[in-house]
Chains A and B, each alone.
Chain A
């Protein structure tokens, strides 16, 4: 009987085999590769031939003059993005829900989630063009209004906010979909009851729509906790320059420069390992919270 069952399950194992093998080689082997963080790694000597140096790489990282600022930039940018990335789509979804014209609603959605599908290369190319202090259209408007040209991508005071604003611009439409679906799922009789009780539009929004969205808001807020150390490598890498390292350099860009440009493999892996480790805790915590608060399960 047991053998029968094993035989019956065999095709399912076969289906998983190729995927499991690729994941093993390209996801699990690199996990073992983090031992580079404890080595004076030299590529020609390999993982087993390089000298073990204990925690030296970590000591080096913690003593780097810039590391505190980079961690701060990472947290600052990502937390601002999370907050803006939650509030803006919620607000837009609520406003869009008030729209009665289906045509308007549909067209609006189609237009605003388009940027989500464009890469940060395309978006950065556009931003570099329109935000340029000399020929960019944004600064021409600023000047026409009597202001002074702003170097959005080269000024440390502006750069983090340019990142947050452009991230919201790219992603809010896409996030709106989920909130709008949550609103659609609200039982219409709740609105009827509210109208009976004399609730106007504002009160319906406040006492029916928002509470109805709350489970989804809580869910997405907790899940975003896992991203606190991801400030958006693709965006920052394509928009930053040495003049804004002070306000815009994040962990992932630092890892890239140290690891790929300077070829300090051990040090870069050490920073990456610290980041992965903290992220592991944060993601686990976020899944646990999402499970407890919103009964969410990944699979």
Chain B
């Protein structure tokens, strides 16, 4: 359809490919550079000799951070948080999305419930009341504080309920005829048919928990309870004078180490880089579905 064999057309095609190639390289170069820095000797790094290839290649930075108890502990907190948060988020997202996907004739309070959840997108109490509520329920300084308050991600619920609504109703109907209840139908029929949206929401949930850092900063009073993202915020960004006072001397001195910073950034991003190729083929479908359904 776009056939255009003129000279201008060929020139445009070439320029277009070139430009897009440049854009994708620009997207990746910063990551590659930091990776190269993390693998270089610290003298080479501070002398500014590193480009996209390690100079005086060494694994010293990785060796150092992987033997650092604070880093490993934070990594562990993040794993625990991601596992608990994932289980809770996925269960509640499915359980909330299914009833809300019903029509009003089958579930009379459906619209009322839907507004009950959507209202939380429209208005929120803000930072201080949020914190005080979590404090009052005793979740400060526990891993549950990072998991329970956000246990119902309303956007994901909406994404999923819209997918559920698109499923053919006849399959469910025949199961009801055979005497199956709502729970059975949800678990045996709806969930297996909804793998694309479940994979999408699973990716969002895992990435969200791995990346979350602000709740850790606010809810944890001791750096040794920080999840990895919050710990990295402290070590790599260190814009928070309050929390820095909780660090040991050796940690404070290493903040200035560029290669160590780079290695920590890279290890922090690693889980995302690892799951990304496997899950990314699912979510294009999921996103398009959620944002521009007709």
Contacts and interface: CB of A to CB of B under 8 A. Distances in A.
Contacts of A87: none
A178 B292 contact: yes
Contact of A122 (B4, B128, B157, B268): B268
A253 B107 CA distance: 43
Q: Is the interface of B mostly helix, strand, loop or mixed?
A: helix
A269 B127 CA distance: 7
B133 interface: yes
A260 B130 CA distance: 12
A65 interface: no
B213 A121 contact: yes
B27 A111 contact: yes
Contact of A299 (B114, B132, B272, B287): B114
A15 B91 CA distance: 10
Nearest to B12: A201
Contacts of A32: 125, 129
B66 interface: no
Interface in B108-126: 108-109, 113-114, 116-118, 120-126
Contact of A129 (B12, B34, B229): B34
A299 B30 contact: no
Interface in B52-97: 92, 95-96
A272 B45 CA distance: 43
A48 interface: no
Contacts of A11: 181-183
B142 interface: no
A231 interface: no
A130 B232 contact: no
Interface in A162-191: 169, 173-174, 177-178, 181-182, 188, 191
Contacts of A289: none
A8 B9 CA distance: 64
Contact of A135 (B9, B48, B265): B48
Interface residues of A, number: 98
Contact of B233 (A98, A108, A121): A121
B45 to A, nearest CB: 8
B175 interface: no
Given A19-B95, A30-B125, A192 B116 contact: no
B236 to A, nearest CB: 4
B94 to A, nearest CB: 9
Contacts of A145: none
A11 B137 CA distance: 28
Nearest to B24: A111
A95 interface: yes
A129 B106 CA distance: 57
A234 B218 CA distance: 13
Contact of A22 (B2, B121, B148, B161): B148
B222 interface: no
A269 B288 contact: no
Interface string B43-55: 0011010110000
B127 A126 contact: no
A80 interface: no
Given A30-B130, A261-B242, A108 B20 contact: yes
Contact of B23 (A104, A112, A118, A284): A112
Interface in A237-266: 237-238, 240-241, 255-256, 259-261, 265
A298 B100 CA distance: 12
B27 A191 contact: no
Contacts of B195: none
A191 B3 CA distance: 11
B126 A30 contact: yes
A104 B181 CA distance: 48
Nearest to A127: B30
Given A280-B122, A298-B118, A95 B261 contact: no
A214 interface: no
6 contacts: A15-B95, A119-B268, A121-B237, A201-B4, A272-B127, A276-B124
Q: Which 8 A-B pairs have the closest CB atoms?
A: A33-B129, A30-B125, A272-B126, A119-B211, A30-B129, A12-B99, A11-B182, A125-B236
Given A18-B95, A20-B113, A111-B24, 14 more contacts: A9-B107, A9-B109, A13-B99, A15-B183, A16-B100, A23-B117, A26-B149, A27-B124, A114-B27, A121-B229, A128-B237, A137-B33, A259-B128, A265-B132
